Amino acid sequence: MSRYKYVLFDLDGTVSESAPGIRKSLEHAITSLDKPLPNLDDYTLYIGPPLLDTFRNLCRFDEPDCQKGLVLYRDFYNETGKYLNKLYDGVKEVLKSIRQSGAKTAVCTSKYEKFAEEIVEILGVTEYFDAVCGSTFDGSRKDKKDLIPYAVESLGGNIETDRKRTVMLGDTYFDARGARLCKADFVGVKYGYGSIKAMQDEGASLFADTPKDILKLIG
């Protein structure tokens, strides 16, 4: 049996190798608005944070352009970007083992929930998740501190009483910070897109070099 009842997986950089599709969709949205294209070589700047925050902080858009950018991004991502996702080697076997241990699993992502559901299906791992939990279209649920309780509730629990039986797996400080704020456990993954130091600054101390290493750290 797993020592955790609820195992939450970030999507981008933890389950899915997703950078190409996200970058192309972001480039499309920015150039469609005739805005200058920032340097997007550093994936940590825009893979992990909510999309709305990326437009506000990285692109410096005003609020009307942020909303236009959201629509442009999502339309392009829906048509093209989501099909560029690739499952990390070993993730499927990890999901199988966790489910067999008796724990419940959920995707817990800042990505728009409908896209997250479609990506999980494209990756061929829908059957290994009890729930797919993402952000709302209007941005009212986008931060991990809000998504983690929502995911636990979707699995039949309550973060207030089940925080010690909940672990968040992710590759960015957004995941680590969300777990810290919710007082849940956290395991960082080194193979994703985020900064290890940034996760450590949020209190992370356990890290998986590969998907397979996750099992040793949460068993």
pLDDT tens figures, 183-219: 999 999 999 999 999 999 999 999 999 999 999 999 8
Give the total number of structural domains in the chain: 2
Given this model, what pLDDT does residue 123 score? 97
- Overall average pLDDT of the 72-80 stretch: 94
Per the CB < 8 A criterion, the answer to whether 123 and 18 are in contact is no
Residue 10 annotated in active site: yes
Residue 1 has pLDDT above 60, yes or no: no
Last residue of a domain, one of 30, 50, 83: 83
Given this model, what pLDDT does residue 49 score? 83
Say yes or no: 101 and 205 in one domain: yes
Per the CB < 8 A criterion, the answer to whether 53 and 177 are in contact is no
Say yes or no: 78 and 160 in one domain: no
Q: Which residue has the tokens 């999901």?
A: 95
The pTM of this model reads 0.89
Per the CB < 8 A criterion, the answer to whether 167 and 184 are in contact is yes
Range of the domain at 194: 6-17+85-218
Q: From the candidates 10, 65, 162, 185, which is the catalytic residue?
A: 10
